[in-house]
Chains A and B, each alone.
Chain A
Amino acid sequence: MTLQALLSGQGLMFLFFAVAAIASGILVVILQNPLRAALSLVINLFSVAGLYLSLNAYFLATVQVIVYAGAIMVLFLFVIMLLNMGQANLNTSYRGVRTIIAFSSAIGFGGLMSAVALKGQPNVMLPADAMVTGSSAGSVEGIGKVLYNPNLPWLFAFEWTSFLLLVAVIGAVVLAGKRQQPSEDKA
């Protein structure tokens, strides 16, 4: 993206949401208090929803806000509060070799990504219609037409995703359900 493109209205939107997403993402990892980390995650999810909006993906942005920032984050907060996780229970001291390795690999990977983003760009200006301005692809109708179209490849993946959810449900029931005859189980 050239500097000129960044300074347009859409570019500024992108900059704002991208910086907010990255900053809040870093906060999720480094904040010691789990509640604050969870709230940073909310900001992160909202920023990503903003990015979706600027790509005209209205439906995805709405779902992101309702499902992730709404429902899932409420569950997160409930779990944190139910477990009553304070700072005292957490071993988050920033010391030791592990931390050094973690930080250096994070910085190294960040540097690699930036280098690729700056240098790896093929020298190409996208045609104006590559921006999805005014496209209906992001609406509920547009997504439905793409997702359920047997002549496009996404139907197959979509149907199998339902089995992914089924496996997750079975797994949750098995791992969290009541134990059968715990007295006979060998610890």
Chain B
Amino acid sequence: MNFGDIHAAGAPILMAVGGCVVLLTDLASKRSATRKFGTFLAILFCIASMVCSYTLGGQLRTAFSNGIAVEGLVVTMQILLAAIAAITIVASSEILQSFHLPKGEYRALILLASAGAMVLVQSLDLVNAFVGIEIMSVAFYVLAGYRRAQAASEEAGAKYFLMGAFVSAILLFGIALIYGSVGLAMKANGLELPQGYSFTNIVTISKAIHQVPGFGTSPLFLLGAVMLIGSLMFKAGVAPFHMVAPDVYQGAPAPIAGFLATTSKVAAFTILMRFFTILAGADTGAAINVVVIGLALLSIIVGNTGAANQKSIKRLFGYSSVAHGGYIVLGLLASLGTESQAAAITAVTFYIVAYAITTIGSFAVVAWLGKDGEDADAISAYRGLGKRNLGAAITLGIFLLSLSGIPLTVGFLTKLGVFMALLSAGGTWVAVVALIGSAIGLYAYLRVISEMFFVDSTQQETSSTDGASKLVAVSAATLVIVMGVFPSQALLPSFEASVTAPPVSGDEVK
């Protein structure tokens, strides 16, 4: 262990230290004085974390005895996670004030949840991944139930906790099965453990998959892999593990819902991408393909049809997040093919970044239009919004168009990228089913847009005081359009860097 190791692990360390500092500052100073200073401190640590990630650059480096590996993809995701945390903290000042919620603990939990997500993103050893996912999840359960006085929030927290605890056990079971199968297979075939790697390391698993004949189809490994994939999919809110997602997003205040929806997806899908890179080109039979196709299509169908008849806009976004999880899984599916792998990883990364921006923005609009911290949750509240508050209506309209994948928004380009990767991997019928799902989703989103612009309403305009949410929403909408019109100039170079240095491959350890 040396300075290089600390530097590689620096982004989550800075976030965690920031969490402690914010918490202690809050305890030490008087309540009224901490509001602005605590926010300032928290954002300072988020920026420090981003800078730390950025200075790592795109090249692959491992640290802590190969427990973690950082390269372009991880750096991109870490910067994204820190940005989400900073935006959430800025956008939450209104709800914290209105509901008299403890502020220092809130900021600390957001920072620590992001630290856990970053540990998950950079981990190469599944043990580290598990610790990261637990830090993130425990903070999530608390955040989902943060507004204790409201029954819906409490229910969301309790449901999320029970399901999440169960899934963590399944994840750990899966990791244990993989550990056992890798160890047995390597001992039986006289393979040496790669120097400095443990049996739970992705590199070791990759060695077993690519060098032990029949390992990829052995039931012990497959069961472990399916349990691992399934529980990570739960963390990302993919159907049929989506049951809690709409409840949680509806119950939690809008900025928290936005944070939960984006951070969980960014973290879980990044580690899944890493796990899938070692499955690419390996003989794992049909099992993993069937599971992944099933999860993707089910999510797209369930998410889009579920969104179609919602009365609550936060539930609509909840189902929309399920559907978008499905599209991301389609991209992961394409990354299982060796030829389409590079394109698929780029597409998935771009999709995750774009989804994060759109979702944070959508929930910010819900908070912006709310009154006294209460979210504008009922879709009927948006009736005739175009006449009352044109700016808000256009902003929300941009997000809804992006979520449905209309050209000139970033949502179109991301869907296009995933479908192109899928077609080059040979998944034509899968793409057709997914497109039908998108058409159903289009109805769900356009219904809200028509409510806003084409239906008259007698509702009075409510003057909002939530300037922070307004700022977040408008800047996110601008980004959605800019990235949709000039994709290459805005963000694409950094993704190409990430694809040239995939975390691990089978060849690397041979």
Contacts and interface: CB of A to CB of B under 8 A. Distances in A.
Chain A contact residues: helix, strand, loop or mixed: helix
Nearest to B9: A156
B485 interface: no
A154 to B, nearest CB: 7
A157 B122 CA distance: 12
Contact of B109 (A121, A160, A170): A170
Interface stretch (B97-105, B283-291, B460-468): B97-105
B67 A157 contact: yes
Contact of B132 (A124, A160, A166, A185): A160
A122 B185 contact: yes
Contacts of B64: 150, 153, 155-156
A126 B187 contact: yes
Nearest to A150: B1
A185 B239 CA distance: 35
Given A120-B223, A180-B100, A167 B112 contact: yes
Interface residues of A, number: 42
Contacts of B198: 152-153
B146 interface: yes
Given A174-B102, A175-B142, A157 B125 contact: yes
Nearest to B129: A157
B138 A168 contact: yes
Contact of B139 (A121, A153, A171, A173): A171
A130 interface: yes
A186 interface: yes
B10 to A, nearest CB: 13
Interface in B115-159: 115-116, 119, 125, 127-128, 130-132, 134-135, 138-139, 141-142, 145-146, 148-151, 157
Interface in A96-126: 112-113, 115-116, 119-124, 126
B67 to A, nearest CB: 4
A179 B130 CA distance: 33
A163 interface: yes
Given A115-B219, A122-B218, A153 B149 contact: no
A163 B127 contact: no
Contact of A186 (B99, B101, B109): B99
Contacts of A168: 138
B300 to A, nearest CB: 24
Chain B contact residues: helix, strand, loop or mixed: helix
A182 B68 contact: no
A126 to B, nearest CB: 7
A179 B141 CA distance: 18
B100 A184 contact: yes
Contact of B150 (A150, A160, A167, A187): A187
Given A156-B68, A177-B102, 18 more contacts: A113-B223, A119-B219, A121-B220, A122-B220, A126-B187, A150-B1, A153-B66, A153-B198, A153-B201, A156-B65, A157-B127, A157-B131, A167-B138, A168-B138, A171-B109, A180-B102, A187-B149, A187-B151
Interface of B: 1, 9, 16, 19-20, 23, 64-68, 99-102, 105, 108-109, 112-113, 115-116, 119, 125, 127-128, 130-132, 134-135, 138-139, 141-142, 145-146, 148-151, 157, 181, 184-185, 187-188, 196-198, 201, 218-221, 223, 374
Nearest first, the 10 closest Cβ-Cβ pairs linking A and B are A124-B188, A120-B219, A171-B142, A185-B149, A153-B67, A120-B220, A150-B1, A156-B64, A153-B65, A116-B219
